[in-house]
Amino acid sequence: MRGLLKLTWLEIRIFMREPLGFVAAIGIPLVMFLALGRSMSPFADRSARTMQFLAQDLPLFVSIFISINAALSLVAVISIYREGGILKRLRATPLRPAVILVAHVLVKLVFTGISLLLVILAGRRFYPIPLHAHLAGFALAVVVTTVTILCMGFVVASMVGTARFAQLIGSVIFYPMLVVSGMFVPLSSMPRPLAVLGSVLPMSHAVALLRGAWDGTGWLVLLPHLGALALTIAICLGLTTRVFRWE
Amino acid sequence: MPRPVIEVARLRKLYGSTVAVDDVSFEVFEGEIFGLIGPNGAGKTTTMECVEGVRKADAGRTTVLGLDPARQANALQQRIGVQLQQAQLQKRIRVWEAVDLWASLYPRTIDGRTLLEQLGLTEKRNASFMSLSGGQKQRLFIALALINDPEVVFLDELTTGLDPQARRAIWDLVNGIRSRGKTVFLTTHLMEEAERLCDRVAIIEHGRLIEMGAPADLVRQHCPERGVVFSSDRADLAGELERIAGAGSVRVEGTTYTVQGRGDDFVTAVIRFIAAQALTVRDFRTVFPTLEDVFLKLTGHAIRD
């Protein structure tokens, strides 16, 4: 436990020293949120579609974007650490292997939290419309979503050798998944094969969970989505423990 | 008789269908510096990593400090110190942070500040890992390997890529580790390093252990020839030199003689000859074979090939 906290805190400090990584994790989602949000307001086109986009779709997209960002960064870190023999070096200590990986999950969760917090705070001041959401439940949903995507990231990091490739593969998996997740186009209005594909993939359940939590839908209703994400986490962890390479 | 702290019996390790280590057996005794030597790719690192518990062997029995590295890796990690070949740390980790992290992982540790001071890293305490020179990185890795006051220290290709000066400094440090009563198990492909540091060496090639012993004994056993080179003002000594006890070939270049011979008395015999002839000698040196020559003799090729 002491090792986990120590390593996590150390990795947080190290991450903050990497100016580009820090900007990507915190700055890009924030700028995207405000820029897209404000670009909508001057049109004064307060149609239902625009309002829906501003009030829910964009905040949800930004949240999920932050999670995917975190996972891609995780994939990169793990690959770089493996290539440099850092993972191997840490493993030749009394640290349990799982602790080394869990520390990185915690680091990414911390930065996801910071990033979201900044988005909310900046949104209060600069976003065109006020926030209407059940924040506590939504925060919980974001944590579940992020952990799910991070676990998927571990599978990618396990299978792909080099950092450059791993991040590319990660993007190629996560972003198309987002397209058929019901984020912008509801699954019900998609062609049937796409809708089926989307509902099988975990991202659609993440979006449904986030949307439900945002609206304050009861957790009981969201249970199937929660279950789907839990199943995804279990499968990814199972795969990771089998195929993860330390060097 | 010192007790063995590492016992390896019939170790075997495969990578796919490639045999990396084949039937390797040896013991390392308490308080000695033991070196696994051989060319790159011979199986040194694989052997060492199986002993450290970083890698699982396919066959054979290994005990380190009475523990099984494969099944009791965690208990073993507490009592050994490890420096891995070509390992890195996080680019932006600071020296003191690495020492601090490592210190937090073990129940019993020595003072990190003192350690950094002994290794000449005090001024680099706040430097990031990526800003360190090769020698400083290796000294940091030595510090991390010593932080838990281990009984056995594993050093894998410690001086590879270092300049001669940094290399010598590291050698002094390794000798210092041994004089603290610790056992050192190292690998190297540098025969000079092995000769300078190791009490005993095992020569490994193509995954097989081909010879083991004290460097001087191995040289004496496999390469008993030695040479005496001297220059004199006389150019007609070849015939008489050949008649010296133990002498083999004599080579003459101008007034410089190279006399090859064998036997412990050979060098003395040459000196007596010079004295008896009342020769004026401008230069005199002996040339002894090295582990490099032993390796060449045993394998038929030089270690760097």
- pLDDT for A235 beyond 70: yes
How large is the average pLDDT for residues A85-100?
90
Q: What is the mean pLDDT of chain A?
A: 91
Residues of chain B with pLDDT under 50: none
Q: Looking at chain A, which residue has its C-alpha nearest residue B51?
A: A92
Mark yes or no for CB contact A3/B104 under 8 Å.
yes
Query: How many residues can be counted in chain B?
Result: 305
Give me the total of CB pairs closer than 8 Å, taking one residue from chain A and one from chain B: 53
Closest in B77, B89, B104 to A6, CB measured:
B104
Amino acid letter, B63? T
The model's confidence at residue A145, banded by pLDDT at 50, 70 and 90, is: very high
Which chain A residues contact residue B105 at CB under 8 A?
3, 93-95
For an interface test with B, the pick among A10, A22, A107 (most B C-beta atoms closer than 10 Å) comes out as: A10
Segments of chain B assigned to CATH 3.40.50.300: 4-220
Residue B264's pLDDT is: 82
ipTM of the shown complex? 0.86
Residue B191's pLDDT is: 92
- pLDDT for A244 beyond 60: yes
Mark yes or no for CB contact A94/B90 under 8 Å.
no
The model's confidence at residue A43, banded by pLDDT at 50, 70 and 90, is: low
Please write the tens of the pLDDT for every residue from B156-201: 999 988 888 888 988 999 999 999 889 999 999 999 999 999 999 9
Give the residue numbers spanning the domain of A151: 2-243
Q: Which fold has domain B4-220?
A: Rossmann fold (3.40.50)
d(CA B18, CA B38): 18
Mark yes or no for CB contact A10/B93 under 8 Å.
yes
Residue A155's pLDDT is: 93
Q: For chain A, what is the domain count?
A: 1
- Indicate the SS3 state at residue B188: strand
- Indicate the SS3 state at residue B27: strand
Segments of chain B assigned to CATH 3.30.70.100: 224-288
Residue B148's pLDDT is: 93
Query: CA distances (Å), B97 to each of A50, B3, B202, B303, in order?
Result: 50, 37, 37, 39
Residue A24's pLDDT is: 82
Please state which of the ranges A48-57, A197-206, B145-154 shows the lowest mean pLDDT. A48-57
Please write the tens of the pLDDT for every residue from A3-18: 899 999 999 999 999 8
Answer for the pair B4, B29: CB distance below 8 angstroms, yes or no. yes
Q: Is A85 on the interface with B (CB under 8 A)?
A: yes
Class of the CATH domain delimited by B224-288 = alpha beta
pTM of the model: 0.87
Mark yes or no for CB contact B105/A93 under 8 Å.
yes
- pLDDT for A45 beyond 70: no
Which of these, A100, A76, A75, A80, lies nearest to A90 by C-alpha position?
A100
For an interface test with B, the pick among A14, A83, A87 (most B C-beta atoms closer than 10 Å) comes out as: A14
